Structure 1
Amino acid sequence: MNKKLLELLNQINEKKTMVQNLVEQGKLEEAKEAKKELTEMQTQFDLLKDVLDPEGNGTAGPQNVTPVPNKEPEDSTKEFANAARRGFRNATMTEGSPADGGYTVPEDIQTRINEYRSAKFSLSSLVDVQSVTTNKGQRTFKKRAQQTGFAKVGEGAKITAKNTPQFERKTYEIDKYAGYFPVSNELLEDSDANITATLTNWIGDESRVTRNKIILEQLQTKAVTAMSSVDDIKKALNVTLGQAFKATSAIVTNDDGLQWLDTLKDSEGRYLLQPDPANPMQLRLCAGATIVPVYVIPNADLESDTKTAKTRKIPMFIGDLKEAIVFWDRNQMTLMTSNIAQIGTLNAFEEDLTIFRAIEREDCTVKDDAAYVYGQVSITDAAVTGA
């Protein structure tokens, strides 16, 4: 092939590799720009080839010159295909034996890291998250009290004293949560997969699961309210929570709870769980005048109680969780790496490792237990699975 065409072809192949790497690294804007350059290079190659190599034989000389035939190099793949067409009459070749043809059969090995699909939900998006700068502290709240109004007073009579506002304080104390993840430097250097990005995403999920666990521990400190029908949910909203919280309330449950809610019907047989027309991905329970959004946490993160045989107690948190729970964030997760650190018997320098260390400091407390109801729906496993 013409030298200039060959050089341009090599550049095109390099650019293709660059585009592929950028896409795998998630750098889509840079990949788009590289793709534009690749398109221009391909156009340039096509134009030059029409001039320098119009017949596609790799030369730009006179077309009446008879080319000297060259002996083609042996192609193991072609030889294997030819042997297969002959029915392997001249030799016994098997895929299971590498020397007898197995080497020519490619293995389907993909080093790019694939992930199984999983459902993820962060409860911190529903609660009150407050950033703090000290390891402990307090917040002052006015106590909830029923006011009775002024008393009727006759002319010249004494005016009676009324109760004044009372206050209370909520205390937080920050705890540390952490973990480390050792990775060999050979893996980081030799793998064509983005191990660092994959591990960073994994650590981010560890943080999400940690926060969910802390928040759920606080939500489950309240006494359980048994529920068995949509009427129990409406009572929790209308009476227990009342007008102070009903308008901003939501239902938080797990996959089992979603299944139970999804089977509830009105008197005309219409399902009560419906998508929000303004946001089809958001579910809501519509029961008469009661319309409340529903958030679902996977069973893996919020388990049902299955201690009783054949009975499943499904958690059902109903209320305004931003008023119910406050999450004190002292310092968002910090991630550090070191190739010289030593942890116990693990020596990163001596063992040629890179250690990823994640630390976050936080606390979680109940701000107002009147803002939510901790409900439980008890049903048989057959009712959950639909069996």
Structure 2
Amino acid sequence: MHKKLLEMLDAIKAAKENVTNLVNENKLEEAKVAKDGLKNLQEQFDLLKDVLDPEGNGMFPEPPMQNIVPVNEKDSTHEFANAARAGFTNMMTEGSAADGGYTVPEDIQTRVNEYRSAKASLINLVDVENVTTNKGSRTFKKRSQQTGFTKVAEGGKIGAKVTPQFERQTYEIGKYAGYLPVTNELLADSDANITGTLISWLGDESRVTRNNIILSKVKTKEKTAITGLDDIKKALNVTLGQAFKATSRIITNDDGLQWLDTLKNDKGEYLLQPNPADPMQTRLCAGATIIPVTVIPNQDFLSDTATSGHRKIPFIIGDLKEGIKFYDRNLMSIMTSNIAAIGDLNAFEEDLTIFRAIEREDCKIKDSEAFVYAEMDLSDTSVTGE
């Protein structure tokens, strides 16, 4: 197809995406104007196509081989490193214009996601939805006790039943940010070193940020005091019940793992065992209760030691896929400065470049009945096993 027609097709595609985005953002007046522009582009394309491609088959003679310039495959690491060296300047992109930043490209974003998952992360245990707008809402059916139909005599009057009830959950994307000072010697180093340093920082900071956001929502539930294994069984069998028990797990920290790892049955056999299907995963096997256990390190999931002589260990028992909804804007932007001063840090004096990263997300409790936020006081002498 003729080069001009190809360029116009790209412009039409971009215009269509712009109209769609404006409608999604409820900017209807701007969308109408954009639609008129799209219509004009389409008319121009139709007229030119009649002139440049009258046969309508899009076929043109192949250019001589000597005129073809090979296109080198893009090296994302090299491009990202060069962008970092340039301070991510002149790279305003949709979604980050308000911050004057550089949106992390998809290939680097994927590597950040991989690094984010390399350490203990709660994000894989919750329900994550990628969104493209800053605000929105979702509809959920309310849980209610159904009573079934009633027996009706022949010719009798049928009574009305309660109809399903629904509720709306809104989300609003929030901004989370941090900065990293790096030496300008690092920026002069290899592409791999620059990219590796930034990906490591972005991934780990993002992982901890998301853990904190999720845990802050979990902790809005009232704490349930537990004193031993029987209370964990009650949480699974009664509080969560059959709706969630089959998909539930225990999430705790290193202190909780230590306590679980000391539990034995009356035969002296440990109750915490590796999963035969995946030896790297552990599960608690106590009678009819077999439940997976996920451990988050103490530094990410703290025990409460505020009271002298007491260590209160946190336990999340249940199904966080049903309990927590995480809205991910999937947009991370970076901005740099080599003259900024932050506290005692002076980038100009110390020959540094400061990288500021921003990501956007929101988190809500989807179903508070899907999990129990429990706490065990190890100073309590009543703490027991089975």
TM-score bin, normalised by smaller chain: 0.5 to 0.7
Measure how far apart 1:382 and its partner are. 11
Query: Can you list the C-alpha shifts for 1:192-249, whole angstroms capped at 9, x where unaligned?
Result: 9935523430231111111000000000111111111211111111111111111110
Contact 1:339 1:349 in 2 (8 A): no
Distance 1:338 1:217, change over 3 A: closer
Stretches of structure 2 lacking an aligned partner (at least 5 in a row):
1-76, 78-117
| Counterpart code for 1:165 | P
For 1:202, the equivalent position in structure 2 comes to 201
Q: Is it true that 1:363 corresponds to 2:347 in the alignment?
A: no
Give the 3 Å change call, closer, same or farther, for CA 223–190 of structure 1 in structure 2: closer
Q: Which amino acid aligns with 2:162?
A: N
Structure 2 residue 136 is matched with structure 1 residue 158:
no
Q: CA deviation at 1:138?
A: 0.9
By how many angstroms is 1:127 displaced?
0.5
State the distance in 1 between where 2:319 and 2:210 align.
Answer: 18
Q: Does 1:287 align with 2:286?
A: yes
Distance 1:383 1:232 in 2: 12
Q: How far apart in 2 are the matches of 1:144 and 1:381?
A: 37
Matched, 1:125 2:124: yes
Tell me the secondary structure at the aligned position of residue 311 of structure 1.
coil
Larger Rg, first or second structure (1 or 2): 1
Structure 1: give runs of 5+ residues left out of the alignment. 1-24, 26-118
Q: Provide Cα deviations, 1:152-179, integer angstroms capped at 9, x if missing partner.
A: 1123322111100000111111110112
Q: 1:183 to 1:248 in 2, by over 3 A?
A: same
Instruction: Return the alpha-carbon distance in structure 2 between the equivalents of residues 242 and 320 of structure 1.
Output: 11
The one-letter code matched in structure 1 to 2:320 is L
If the length of structure 1 is used for normalisation, what is the TM-score? 0.63
Change in 2 beyond 3 A, CA 1:144/1:154: same
Does the aligned pair in 1 maintain the 2:328–2:360 contact within 8 Å?
Answer: yes
| Greater RCO, 1 or 2 (C-alpha within 8 Å, sep 6+) | 2
Q: Is the 8 A contact 1:120 1:297 kept in 2?
A: no
8 Å contact from structure 1 (residues 325, 364) kept in 2 = yes
* Aligned-pair CA distance for 1:265: 1.3
Partner of 2:353: 354
1:252 match: 251
Q: CA deviation at 1:128?
A: 0.6
Please provide the CA RMSD for this pair. Answer: 2.9
In structure 2, give the amino acid aligned to 1:227: I
Could you state the TM-score of these two structures normalised by the residue count of structure 2? 0.63
Q: Matched residues in 2 for 1:123 and 1:248: separation?
A: 16
Name 1:211's counterpart in structure 2. 210
Distance 1:379 1:140, change over 3 A: same
- 1:190 positional shift: 6.3
Distance 1:347 1:308 in 2: 40
Q: 1:157 to 1:382 in 2, by over 3 A?
A: closer
- Aligned partners of 2:342 and 2:311: how far apart in 1? 43
Partner of 2:314: 315
Asked if 1:375 is matched to 2:374, the reply is: yes
